[in-house]
Structure 1
Amino acid sequence: MKIAVQKVRLAGREYRVIRPAGPLRNGALYTTHRHYEMYVDRADGRRIATLWLLAARSPRSLVYLPMRTSPPVSSVYQEDEEQLDLVLAPRTVQLRPSRWKRIRERLNAGNAPRELRTASVPERDVPAPGADRVIPDDPKEAGRFLLRREVLAGTLLLTGGSEAFREGAKEILAVAKDGPPHAATRHYIPGACNYHVCRPIYDWDADDRWRHWEVLHVEYCPQWAR
């Protein structure tokens, strides 16, 4: 996929940022009822998943997905929901969340330089479909699989390690693959669990250790407002 690479210097540090070269047309992220809902079609689902895999392979780069400019999702968007951008931050970057707003302002300035590249990731980076993620009991080991969440400046900022980003990519790719044939051959109702294709990326409700986490839910959406 085509990406843009930008560098921003702030508070004596340089931040390298990867973003899609062009806008996402059919990929949107909302916060509602203490949950996070991501909607994708096939093409942008694959683009978003590739960016998650790039986050796993780029321990010194932030991955920025400007999703607030996407068109509203038809029949899903409600006025009380907030549309969000998404930032994937490897722990090794040591990004202070409070700095993100100023970084974004410099990235989106009219004169901000950007380098266009073509990025690809090998298929072996994607965890095997259906493979269960087993979170170790040791907190230090478990940290490799978990994402820390911050919400600020209209952005869901997820900080974690390579394993966590690869697991997220796996679920998004599954939605992008299974969603189109399901929507074409069966009755589709957005938001109704038995009538659409979706995956929870991070849902810790089944484990008392992670009850402070909200769900990040990805749903295939075949219809979009233009």
Structure 2
Amino acid sequence: MKLPITIHQARLGSTEFKVIRPARPLVHAVLIDHDRHLDTYLDQDAAQRIGGLWTLAASSPRSLVHLPMRGNRGPSHALPEDGTRQLDLVLLHHSLQFAPSRWKEVRRRLGPGRPQTVTLPGAGHTDEAVTDHEARHYQENRDLFHQHLHAETLFMTGSAKVFRDTARHFFDVARNGPGYAPVHPSYPHFCSELHSNDGTLGDAREIHIEYCGQWDA
């Protein structure tokens, strides 16, 4: 899978930060904060590229992967309700030890960026057979996501392994969403979920990931 990105630099004092963004805007992608949980609505292109960026986060421990989407217009059936808000998303490795309180300043100082295309393993290379699902629930498990919210941005912090293991949710939506035929009124849309039962969420809220093929102009 070839993924066009832009690489940006920002300096705060003596520290330089590297920020990776998708080369093209993720037009049909929204992330909505419902307080108790989070909803993501994506078309096929956005789901495919976010899966790629999720995979890239696993191999980029010194970078912040920024997905700007808080200003996007969502599908009509998923308009934000009172008390909800749309967010950007930042993916980062826990070893970076980045303080989200610095993000607003980093974001403001980002340069124009330089284009680059990275080659990633295809979605089929994620081998579920080698994932020890039971081990995820052990107390010693450190391959967990943690979330922080700052400056209208959700920070997903995790290990390389947890990013690799969960990118499949987005690839699954990209692959199966467009051809999905509803079989029950309770399941009108194809979706996947980062769920607490999966053993990948530490102090992180669940994220519902839904395919949407029809978007408002």
TM-score for both structures, normalised by structure 2: 0.88
Output the CA distance in 2 between the equivalents of 1:179 and 1:23: 21
Cα deviation for residue 187 of structure 1 reads: 6.7
SS at match of 1:181: coil
SS at match of 1:116: strand
Tell me the equivalent position of 2:57.
55
Tell me the equivalent position of 1:115.
114
SS at match of 1:45: helix
SS at match of 2:167: helix
Runs (5+) with no aligned partner, structure 1: none
Q: Any residues of structure 2 matched to 1:151-190 within 5 Å, and which?
A: 151-182=149-180, 185-186=181-182
Tell me the equivalent position of 2:88.
85
Output the CA distance in 1 between the equivalents of 2:184 and 2:117: 35
SS at match of 2:56: helix
Percentage identity across aligned positions?
36
Deviations 1:92-151 (A, max 9, x none): 2210111111111112xxxx2311011120127842358673305243xx112x111001
SS at match of 1:174: helix
Tell me the equivalent position of 1:199.
192
8 Å contact from structure 2 (residues 20, 66) kept in 1 = yes
Q: Any residues of structure 2 matched to 1:84-163 within 5 Å, and which?
A: 84-107=87-110, 112-123=111-122, 126-128=125-127, 133-134=133-134, 135-139=136-140, 142-144=141-143, 146-163=144-161
AA aligned opposite 1:200: E
Output the CA distance in 2 between the equivalents of 1:101 and 1:188: 44
Taking structure 1 as reference, are residues 5 and 85 closer, same or farther at Cα in structure 2, changes over 3 Å only? same
Cα deviation for residue 24 of structure 1 reads: 0.7
Cα deviation for residue 39 of structure 1 reads: 0.9
Match 1:216 to one of 195, 199, 207: 207
Displacement over 3 Å in runs of 4+: 129-134, 185-189, 209-213
Output the CA distance in 1 between the equivalents of 2:90 and 2:157: 8
Match 1:72 to one of 65, 74, 82: 74
Report the more deviating stretch, 32-41 or 56-65.
Answer: 32-41
Deviations 1:165-197 (A, max 9, x none): 112211111111111101xx43797xx5x2221
Cα deviation for residue 33 of structure 1 reads: 3.9
Cα deviation for residue 164 of structure 1 reads: 1.2
AA aligned opposite 1:96: A
Aligned residues: 212
Tell me the equivalent position of 2:44.
42
Output the aligned Cα RMSD: 2.4
Output the CA distance in 1 between the equivalents of 2:23 and 2:56: 14
8 Å contact from structure 1 (residues 129, 170) kept in 2 = no
Cα deviation for residue 29 of structure 1 reads: 0.6
8 Å contact from structure 1 (residues 205, 211) kept in 2 = no
8 Å contact from structure 1 (residues 90, 161) kept in 2 = yes
8 Å contact from structure 1 (residues 39, 220) kept in 2 = yes
SS at match of 1:180: coil
Taking structure 1 as reference, are residues 12 and 125 closer, same or farther at Cα in structure 2, changes over 3 Å only? farther
